[in-house]
Amino acid sequence: MENANITSLVAQYPLVEELIALKETTWFNPKATSLAEGLPWVGLTQADVDDAHARLARFAPWLAQAFPETAKNHGIIESALVALPTMHSRLEKESGITIPGTLLLKKDSHLPISGSIKARGGIYEVLAHAEKLALAAGLLSLEDDYSKLLEPQYREFFGRHSIAVGSTGNLGLSIGIASARVGFKVTVHMSADAREWKKAKLRSHGVTVVEYEQDYGVAVEQGRKAAESDPNCFFIDDENSHTLFLGYAVAGERLKAQFTEQGRVIDAEHPLFVYLPCGVGGGPGGVAFGLKLAFGDHVHCIFAEPTHSPCMLLGVYTGLHDQIAVQDLGIDNLTAADGLAVGRASGFVGRAMERLLDGFYTLSDQSMYDMLGWLAQEENIRLEPSALAGMAGPVRIAASGRYALENATHLVWATGGGMVPEDEMEKYLAKGQ
């Protein structure tokens, strides 16, 4: 972007200057409104989420057999919800700010199959594609026991089809592992920041990994191009896919059931605040959509991004959405937070969800490392840096003084880390303060 254009953008949107200076920033969204008013802009409905629930239920017998670690939950991929009482005190002590309410952690970091939030959307989209192909070929009906898709003749059928995806790591891991298990030929286009162990794990599952020197945007573009030349290849489009989004949205009702089971009430007097790390936006956007459908105006969703990759804040704040990238402002998009190193936000998610999100904030990599260390010390829970992005949220919300928090539930969405090798985790822990 020309310097003159940056100057006029800053004049109109003063917060852009803080983003360029890589300052930790909190922005409350003036477009935020009620579910009733915001829902029509999403373009998707409760019926679409119900459809995703039903599809995952049909695949549950397949999942239970294909991935035995899902069998004890009957083939339903869902994560635990845990309280963080000592981390709560540690956050208060370190920040000097009292955080009224209860602090909880949603452990998508420990979801089966791929150890990140991508085990929701990524695997769902692969299964939706497999179902569509098998139904169209007359090989499957909705009433069948889908575990039959593990038989050789089906795997041979799926082997005539391929899947491609561009990823910073975790989406590739989910889509690669699930696709290979279905029987698809699968290629993952990995950006430069993707970890070696993720590439090695994929290759061990028979996935083709193509590596790029550039960031996520380039990996996605190259993946899209490679897929275009092959009519039997399905490209999973992280930036625009409604299917991925709906796979994430299922989390809303699942969480509601977990709260009910634990006797936790969410209503006007007992509001819920959910802090979601944001990369391109599909994961947090889809989860937030599901949460809004499940809890209505009693849930407040806040997105968290690295100071070096504040693409969603920038897009929503300026209204430019995917028409601007952080690199246009000279922001380098370099962060240790896997999955969050995205320079240009999904235009679909930003436009769909901007009326249903209370706020956005940025935090430094060092803040993530510090909280990673505190969480390990206080609660003995180990996450990857990106999964700590949401942990700063309760402090920001308490400091803002905008909400009555006495009876609040603060839910930090832990998005990854369950499969990080021990030696990598030691390196992360060493970086904490």
Complete edge-to-edge strand list for the sheet that includes strand 81-83:
26-28, 359-363, 299-306, 272-277, 409-414, 102-107, 81-83
Residues in contact with ligand PLP, shown as a per-residue x/- string from 298 to 317 under the rule CB under 6 A: --------------------
Instruction: Assess 350 for contact with ligand PLP (CB under 6 A).
Output: no
Instruction: Assess 176 for contact with ligand PLP (CB under 6 A).
Output: no
Of residues 278, 293, 294, 408, which one binds ligand PLP by CB under 6 A? 278
Instruction: Assess 70 for contact with ligand PLP (CB under 6 A).
Output: no
- Residue count, binding to ligand PLP (CB under 6 A): 21
How far apart are alpha carbons 335 and 339 in whole angstroms? Answer: 10
**Is 387 in contact with 417 (CB distance < 8 Å)?**
yes
Name residues contacting ligand PLP, limited to 106-145 (CB under 6 A).
116-118
Which burial class, exposed, middle or buried, applies to 32 when counting CB atoms under 10 A from its CB (0-12, 13-18, 19+)?
Answer: middle
Name residues contacting ligand PLP, limited to 144-163 (CB under 6 A).
none
Query: Rounded to the nearest whole angstrom, what is the least distance from the CB of residue 385 to ligand PLP in the complex?
Result: 9
Query: Rounded to the nearest whole angstrom, what is the least distance from the CB of residue 287 to ligand PLP in the complex?
Result: 9
Tokens coding 270: 């007992």
How far apart are alpha carbons 380 and 383 in whole angstroms? Answer: 10
Instruction: Assess 170 for contact with ligand PLP (CB under 6 A).
Output: yes
How far apart are alpha carbons 198 and 209 in whole angstroms? Answer: 10
Of residues 371, 386, 394, 412, which one binds ligand PLP by CB under 6 A? 386
Instruction: Assess 333 for contact with ligand PLP (CB under 6 A).
Output: no
Q: Which of the stretches 83-91, 148-156, 280-288, 292-300 binds ligand PLP when contact is defined by CB under 6 A?
A: 280-288
The residues facing 167 across adjacent strands are 190
How far apart are alpha carbons 261 and 204 in whole angstroms? Answer: 39
Instruction: Assess 416 for contact with ligand PLP (CB under 6 A).
Output: yes
How far apart are alpha carbons 393 and 359 in whole angstroms? Answer: 10
Hey, what amino acid is at 126? V
The residues facing 43 across adjacent strands are none
Hey, what amino acid is at 127? L
Instruction: Assess 277 for contact with ligand PLP (CB under 6 A).
Output: yes
Q: Which of the stretches 50-58, 127-135, 257-265, 380-388 binds ligand PLP when contact is defined by CB under 6 A?
A: 380-388
Instruction: Assess 339 for contact with ligand PLP (CB under 6 A).
Output: yes
Residues in contact with ligand PLP by the rule CB under 6 A: 116-118, 170-171, 277-284, 338-340, 384, 386-387, 415-416
